[in-house]
């Protein structure tokens, strides 16, 4: 059996992929992968995802330079979620210019922004 066949792809041929800092363990982002994205991630040793909004492959960092170097890949017990242990180049995973996409914490009935912006997104995505 091909290693890709062990994955339980959803009806759209996708599987959720959690990117986690390989040193700190912090969850940086969650994205989706199709078979091609996962195969390319392994062969290129970098985070490559399927963009549902753009309906195409998305090499993390292709515009921002914030590439994710793959350190380890894991599949959960049900075969339907991936965890990518990555080295996040530039220290920014979120399009908002923050380290992580999970920068809001629930406190007292509301979401509070608790992580600083490391770089203005307009500087990151100037084109």
pLDDT at residue 127 is higher than 70: no
pLDDT tens-place string over residues 111-124? 999 999 999 888 88
pLDDT at residue 33 is higher than 80: yes
Domain map of the chain by residue range?
3-124
Q: What pLDDT does residue 123 have?
A: 86
Q: What pLDDT does residue 45 have?
A: 98
Higher pLDDT, 68 or 127: 68
- Options 3.10.20.810, 3.40.190.10, 3.30.70.930, 3.10.180.10; which CATH number does 3-124 get? 3.10.20.810
pLDDT tens-place string over residues 42-97? 999 999 999 999 999 999 999 899 999 999 999 999 999 999 999 999 999 999 99
pLDDT at residue 7 is higher than 90: yes
pLDDT at residue 126 is higher than 80: no
Q: Which of 41, 36, 1, 32 is nearest to 14 (CA)?
A: 32
pLDDT at residue 39 is higher than 60: yes
Q: How far apart are the first and last CA of the chain?
A: 44
């Amino acid at each position: 059996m091909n290693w890709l066949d062990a994955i339980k792809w959803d009806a759209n041929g996708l599987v959720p992929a959690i990117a986690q800092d390989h040193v700190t363990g912090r969850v940086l982002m969650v994205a989706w992968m199709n078979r091609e994205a996962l195969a390319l991630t392994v062969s290129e040793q970098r985070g490559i995802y399927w963009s549902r909004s753009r309906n195409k492959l998305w090499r993390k960092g292709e515009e921002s330079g914030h590439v994710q170097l793959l350190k380890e890949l894991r599949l959960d017990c049900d075969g339907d979620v991936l965890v990518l242990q990555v080295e996040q180049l530039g220290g920014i995973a979120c399009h908002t210019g923050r380290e992580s996409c999970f920068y809001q914490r629930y406190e007292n009935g509301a979401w509070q922004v608790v992580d600083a912006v490391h770089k203005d997104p307009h500087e990151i995505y100037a084109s």
